[in-house]
Amino acid sequence: MVHWSAEEKQLIASVWAKVNVEQCGAEALARLLIVYPWTQRFFDNFGNLSSPTAIVGNPKVRAHGKKVLTSFGEAIKNLDNLKGTYSKLSELHCEKLHVDPENFRLLGDILVIVLAAHFTKDFTPACQATWQKLVGVVAHALAHKYH
Amino acid sequence: MLTAEDKKLIQQTWGKLGGAEEEIGAEALWRMFHSYPPTKTYFPHFDLSPGSDQIRCHGKKVVAALGNAIKNLDNLSQALSELSNLHAYNLRVDPVNFKASRERDGNGDRFLSQCLQVVLATRLGKEYSPEVHSAVDKFMSAVASVLAEKYR
């Protein structure tokens, strides 16, 4: 089980309280598809992904980004049981969606950059370290049921 | 592959840093040491406390090298040749530490690239657009490839 210090929990909560989940989720997913274009392979039915502008404006990307980040919010409510929280999602990503877990790490790093751009100097080194840890353990939990 | 547009964006972005390159280098290293503690194993001889002169100095070196690479985007291999030798034969830093996420191997992490990008994002905010983000990520990936070229 992952240990979270009081300071880490505080840094997670204080950042999360100010995150617009819909906006941030949409942006993170859009950036994933733009910066790592091969990830578009999972979204053939999303319509127009032909340019950064198209991707950012794509309503399916926005909706899915919101879904993904909402799920992330669940992780934050259950920091002491991430593997349990993500057990079903992990199975889904493996058995139905066939997503290489490397993609979770890519998205995690992108999320950190989105937060950095949003919070600018308030996204301190301590904040980043905590969030890098968080996205790392979320990625690990999502990969846990892979076989 | 860096497109002409990528190169333009990278040069423009670097131009916006307004002389803060030194601080940016130091901050990127500091963030790397905090987010990825194993990276400290390469600096046992450094004072790693806040405001350390050695971190500042080394950050400046790193950023100067990147700045030089940015002036020579059409020939990164040559521009970074000395550094490539240094990393391969002297420093032998495990490439995982500077590889960017485009490198697909079992341990494709991207510590310095990630931290540098976070610093740029905190300073540029919205200007660190998806297009800029993509260009910088590709650039750091290309730099990492060159640095790891002579490892074996």
Across A100-107, average pLDDT: 93
Task: Give me the pLDDT at residue B92, please.
Answer: 86
For A125, which of B30, B104, B137 is closest by C-beta distance? B30
pTM: 0.91
Please check whether residue A32 is in contact with residue A107, taking contact to mean a CB–CB distance below 8 angstroms.
yes
Helix, strand, or coil here: B46?
A: coil
Question: Which among A35, A52, A112 has CB closest to B137?
Answer: A35
State the first-to-last Cα distance of chain B, in angstroms, to the nearest integer. Answer: 23
- Which residues 44-63 in chain B show a CB within 8 A of chain A? none
8 Å CB contact of A35 and B36: no
Q: Running DSSP on this structure, what letter comes out for residue B16?
A: T
Q: Is there a contact between A60 and A46 (Cβ–Cβ < 8 Å)?
A: yes
Residue A117 has pLDDT above 90, yes or no: yes
> If one looks up domain B4-148 in CATH, what number appears?
1.10.490.10
Torsion of CA A28, A30, A31, A37, to 10 degrees: 140
Nearest CA in chain A to B6: A35
Q: Return d(Cα B101, Cα A37) in angstroms, integer.
A: 12
Please report, for chain A, the start and end positions of each structural domain, with discontinuous segments joined by +.
6-143
Cβ pair A59, A22 in contact under 8 A: no
List Cα–Cα distances, A24 to A63, A70, B122, in angstroms: 11, 10, 15
Chain A residues whose beta carbon lies within 8 Å of the beta carbon of residue B131: 34, 52
B85 reaches A (C-beta below 8 A):
no
b/e per residue A113-135 (b: at least 16 CB within 10 A): bbbbbbbeeebebebbbbbbbbb
Q: Would you write out chain B's pLDDT as a tens digit for each of its 152 residues?
A: 899 999 999 999 999 998 898 899 999 999 999 999 989 988 999 999 999 999 999 999 999 999 999 999 999 999 999 998 998 888 888 877 776 554 433 222 389 999 999 999 999 999 999 999 999 999 999 999 898 888 88
What integer pLDDT is reported at residue B97 of this predicted model?
77
- Mean pLDDT (chain A, rounded): 96
ipTM at complex level: 0.89
Q: What is the dihedral of CA B60, B64, B65, B69, to 10 degrees?
A: 150
CATH of A6-143, one of 1.10.490.10, 1.10.1740.10, 3.20.20.70, 2.60.40.650: 1.10.490.10
DSSP-assigned states of every residue in B86-151: IIIIII---GGGT--TTS-STT---HHHHHHHHHHHHHHGGGS-HHHHHHHHHHHHHHHHHHHTT-
pLDDT cut 70: percent of chain A above it? 100
What digits encode the pLDDT tens for the residues A44-66?
999 999 999 999 999 999 999 99
From the list B110, B125, B131, the residue facing A120 with the nearest CB is B125
* Locus of tokens 């490397």: A102
CB pairs below 8 Å between A and B: how many?
Answer: 77
B101/A109 CB distance under 8 A: yes
Residues B116, B120, B125: CA angle, nearest 5 degrees: 150
What are the structure tokens assigned to A110, written together? Answer: 């992108």
